[in-house]
Every structure is written in C-alpha cells, then in structure tokens.
Structure 1
Amino acid sequence: MFAQLLTPDYAPFAIAFVVMIGIGLIEAIGLGFGHLDLHGGIDADADGGLLGWLGLGRELPILIWLTSLLGCFALVGLAIQQVASAFTGAPLHWGLAVGSAAVVGSMLNTLAANGLARIMPGFETSAITTDELLRRRGTILEGAARRGSPARAKVVDQHGQAHFIMVEPHQDEGSIAQGETVLLVRREGNMFFAVPDRDPLLRSI
C-alpha cells in the first residue's frame, strides 16, 4: 500500500496528507512562537459569499481550515482512486483524480469547517494579532535577554492563551535576567523589545 501511495496517480493525495500532518505538528510544537500568527482568521462579511461557502465566513483559524481542507482532499482522492481501481482495475489519471477530489473535497470541507466553527467557539473569539501583545507583561523563561542576544519569554493574552516570543531589552545597554517580568513596548518583525518591571518608569503603572 505504501508503494502504491508513491505512484503518480496517488502522490498528490499522499503529499496533501503529509502536509496536513506537518501543519498539525507545527501547531503542537509551536516552533517557539506559541500561538503567534498561527491562528489568524478570515472574516467574511456575508455568509453567502465565496468565503462563507468555503467555510471561512465564521472566523475559523486559517490553519484549522487548511488542515481540514487537506484532510478532505486526501481522503476523497484516495477513495476515488480505490473505487476506480475496484471497478476498472486501475486508478484514474492523477490529473482527473485531483480535479475531482478538489471539487468534492472542497464541498466536504465546507461542512467540516462549519461544524468545527460551531464546536470550537474559543478559537473564534481568541485569535489575536501579534501587535495585541504589546503593552502586556511577560516573563523571561530562558537565559538573559541582551541587545543582539534575545531570550525566550512567555506572555499571556487577554483570553488566557500563552504565547512564547523572543525578547530583547528596549535599551541598548539593558539586560533582563531569567525569571524577570517585563513590559512589551515595541516589536520589529517577530522580535519584541521590553522594559523590565524594575525600571523606575514602570513603578506607577
């Protein structure tokens, strides 16, 4: 069976399945970034529009939707090839099978995505942008943060979700030790810059 999945007629569906597993691992491991930018949702203004038809009109996180789509595509594709082999003795040409699986898989994913959006309300309301972590406090977890030598920090957002980010001191000559609490004041790309709570400027905040 494994060798069969490597043939051209089955390969697109095997690749889709591997990518789906890869996305799941990225979500599970977090790659050191926690939930940052991984749960971005797409909001469709009208449920009857194209995005709504695709299942993206309910603020379902894009990676959850993509994982569902890949899974539906792979399962439908494998089913099509198995049925074709049972009736004709050979699978369909990969191009024909991919086209059919894309259409049927998209329709199936619409039902799956709408179902997921209903049973996972926490995802609908807790997706945040990276900039929303600014002006929040975090804790340095590993090592000391210095300019040019960031440290890993944990920040909890307004929904109680933990985010793991890389932090450098806001001041060029500053240093923040492991275990210290900091206030995130700005960011550049994926790098956040913070002021330690011991800074006199924060005593009244």
Structure 2
Amino acid sequence: MFTFFTADFNSAYSIALAIMLGLAMLEGVAMLIGLSLLSALDDLIPADLSVDSDAQITTPGLTSVLGWLGLNQLPLLIWLVLFLTSFGLTGVSVNYISLSTLDMLFPSSILFGFSFIFAVIFSKFWGRRLAKIFPKNESTAISSLDMQGLEARITVGVAKLNSSAEATCVDNYGQRHYVMVQPIEENQEFTAGTNVVLIEKQTNYWLVAKLN
C-alpha cells in the first residue's frame, strides 16, 4: 500500500495529503505554545471580502473569486484542509479503483483537472456549512467603518451606478484591503487605475469619490 501511495502517478495527491497532515500537526504544536495558524493564515487573505450580490460586477477579480470560494466565511486553514484532503483522496481513490477494476490508469492531466475541480466544489460546499461551526476570526486591525476616508485605487473593472469595481487600499497598520466600490454620484465612472476616497460603507460595497 505504501508503494501505491508513493508511486509517480499518485505523487501530486500524496503530497497534498502530506501537506494537510503537516498543517494539522503545525496547528497542534502552535496551540501548545499559545499560537494558532488559523489567525496567522487569515492574515494572508484580504480583509473586507464583501461581494455585492445585487450590483453587477463586470470583470471578475480577487474579491469575487475569494468570496465565491467562501474564504470570507471560513478560516483559511480549515478551507485548505478541506481542499487538500478532497483533492488527495479523490486522485488516490480514482487511481486505486481504475487499477483494481480496469487494470489501467486515467491520463494524469485529466485526473488532475477532475480532482482539482472536485476539490474546489467540495471545499466551497462543505466550507459554507462548517463556517457555522468555525466562524472566521477577525484578523484585520481595524473595522470596515474605520476605513472611511482612506485612499483606494481601482484595480479591476469600471465603477459606476449599480456596477461595482474592485479596489485596493492600505490602512494605517499596513493591512491591505480589497473592497468593491461604486461612485457616490450617479453620473460618474471610475476605470482601473483611478485613485478614489472611501466615503460611505454600504452593505456590500463602498461609495467613493475621485481623489483630486
């Protein structure tokens, strides 16, 4: 069985499972010394991952992708464990079944793509359910309301009425935030590269004005 797990055709999936076990062990050790990877890894995820479900987002960006994956609801460590476990077990299981029943292996590229897509869907589906048990820790140094008045730069899309664009800003603590923005005036449009000021926080986006 060990030879099967370490075979070349299972290397990607075995590595994924090994990383998963390593993360679990590191979290256990970190907890013994009063630390936690849950909070440390969450610092890698942009704060304020809110996606406006009502406004049209013309161009996909980092905010919408991470929000779709559920990383605004679940600690990154838990999501990684879900993804790596489902990815590794899917690849190993399919290889085992195909060898034992069909005496053949599926093409590695096809199986890798299938395992990856299945892991993403599995992590998104179960992550949203586990979010009720493992609420996401607040890792940002300031709240969303404290971001009022910060300068931001539009990175993806065109911001206009009922059409949010993605923007990035840095708070006084050096924490980077990715936010969705719309102009505060109806007749304005802000394209990528425009510098704006965060004026007022709405449910899922910020109203902004152009920085003079």
Q: TM-score range by the shorter chain?
A: 0.5 to 0.7
Aligned to 2:91: 77
- Deviation of 1:112 after TM superposition, in Å, equals 1.8
Higher relative contact order (CA 8 A, sep 6+): 2
Which one of 40, 46, 53 corresponds to residue 68 of structure 2? 53
Which one of 36, 40, 63 corresponds to residue 37 of structure 1? 40
Deviations 1:116-165 (A, max 9, x none): 111223xx2x4435x69xxxxxxxxxxxxxxxxxxxxxxxxxxxxxxxxx
Q: Write out aligned runs for 1:21-170 (5 A).
A: 21-30=21-30, 32=33, 34-35=35-36, 37-40=40-43, 42=46, 43-46=48-51, 49-58=64-73, 60-121=74-135, 124=136, 126-128=137-139
- SS where residue 35 of structure 2 aligns? coil
- Deviation of 1:63 after TM superposition, in Å, equals 1.6
Partner letter of residue 119 of structure 2? G
- Please tell me whether the aligned partners of residues 90 and 115 of structure 2 are also in contact (alpha carbons under 8 angstroms): yes
CA distance in 2, matches of 1:63, 1:74: 16
- Deviation of 1:12 after TM superposition, in Å, equals 0.9
Aligned to 1:160: none
Deviations 1:79-99 (A, max 9, x none): 221232244212223332211
CA distance in 1, matches of 2:15, 2:124: 21
Query: Larger radius of gyration, structure 1 or 2?
Result: 1
Structure 2 residues not aligned, in runs of 5+ = 54-63, 143-212
- Please tell me whether the aligned partners of residues 44 and 52 of structure 1 are also in contact (alpha carbons under 8 angstroms): yes
- SS where residue 84 of structure 1 aligns? helix
CA distance in 2, matches of 1:15, 1:93: 19
- Deviation of 1:26 after TM superposition, in Å, equals 0.8
CA distance in 1, matches of 2:132, 2:34: 27
CA distance in 2, matches of 1:53, 1:83: 32
- Deviation of 1:47 after TM superposition, in Å, equals 7.3
- Please tell me whether the aligned partners of residues 6 and 14 of structure 1 are also in contact (alpha carbons under 8 angstroms): yes
Please, what is the CA RMSD of the aligned residues? 2.7
**Paired residues, what number?**
128
- Deviation of 1:70 after TM superposition, in Å, equals 0.4
Percent identity of the aligned residues?
A: 25
Structure 1 residues not aligned, in runs of 5+ = 133-205
Aligned to 1:4: 4
- SS where residue 83 of structure 2 aligns? helix
Deviations 1:31-63 (A, max 9, x none): 8561262443555212763223222131x2212
- Please tell me whether the aligned partners of residues 5 and 14 of structure 1 are also in contact (alpha carbons under 8 angstroms): yes
- Please tell me whether the aligned partners of residues 9 and 93 of structure 1 are also in contact (alpha carbons under 8 angstroms): no
